[in-house]
Amino acid sequence: MKRRGFAFLFILIAAVFGLRSLADAQTRQFKICVPDYSVGVMPFFVAKQNGYFAQEQIDIEVIAGRGNLCTMGLIAGSFQLTYSPSTFDSIVAGDIKGKTIYVAEKFLLHRLIVAPQIKRFEDLKGKKIAISAFGTLTDLLTREILLDHGLKPMQDVILLQTGGVPVRFAALKSGNVQGALLASQHALAAMQDGFRNLEYTPPPYVSHPLIVKNEMLTNDKAVTRSFIRVFLKGHLFFGQKPEETLNVIQKVLRIDDRKTARETYEDEMRRYNPGGGFEQGNMRKVIDRAREARKMERKVEIPEVFDLSLAADVEGELKKAGWKP
């Protein structure tokens, strides 16, 4: 009798572990590389916390990697997706065969913060603006903004290489420069200190493009579709449920002050792009900007870089089903 009991118990334990192993085998593991832990990447954490990934039998690990780490990891297969603008530039250059499948934000968050006496772009003539370094994002965006307002960089306005955001902010406060591109909390802090936000129309940028290699789109299209469905749900929740999202922001980014978290969230919402679509004209602009930065002569066609069809299909599917966060 005891032997039968032990045999039954053994079979039960084996069955439990067998089912668990089967479930683990069915769950797809994904690593996604992001340029940093910021409010812009919160849809991943929202989706994970709400169980959206688990519903699709997907488990993810979000890893922050600066510079070209995301791109190199995607090429090597260490990451299955990236959320990095440097990877976008590499696709345009042909360094990696991949596609942008979702555009979460329409432009960059940088504000042009200037000294109190600067009230118009004309007032910047003969003045200095801090950038991180020549050839970087702040350099390119600053030049684009100045040119859009009839000012010639390095002639009408001098650009000084100073370093990262804290250093640019310090240079502005010390009076060594009269302007600097600052994002989120540093920009808000500068405005509270009396510096001005010189308004401009933000040019289109893909600061957080969701990117996969072509082989994943071809060989794992169903899984890619599932991933987009999860991300879209997280992204919609992010935009429509601010209080719940603030809880995630405070937890992940370790922001104790609710007011600070709210200001950061509201700043991010300025460029929020539900559905992940992008206008053809903007696609052309961001591709050509990347070509110019790489000094490329070859024309790059939009379908070589963008495939937003799955995102559009999934958005339509969720709307038809009446899904709401």
Domain boundaries, given as residue ranges, for the chain: 27-107+206-321, 111-197
Q: What is the pLDDT of residue 25?
A: 52
Residue 200, classed as helix, strand or coil, is coil
What local confidence, expressed as pLDDT, does residue 85 receive?
86
For the chain, which ranges sit under pLDDT 50? 1-3, 5-24
pLDDT for 65 equals 84
Tell me if domain 27-107+206-321 and domain 111-197 are identical in fold.
yes
pLDDT value at residue 23: 45
pTM of model > 0.85: no
Q: The domain 27-107+206-321: what is its CATH number? A: 3.40.190.10
Strands (E), 65-178: 81-82, 98-103, 111-114, 128-131, 158-161
| CATH 3.90.1150.10 correct for 111-197 | no
**Residue 67 confidence (pLDDT):** 65
Which pLDDT score, from 0 to 100, does residue 62 have? 95
Q: Residue 14: its pLDDT value, please?
A: 42
| Residues of the chain above pLDDT 90, percent | 74
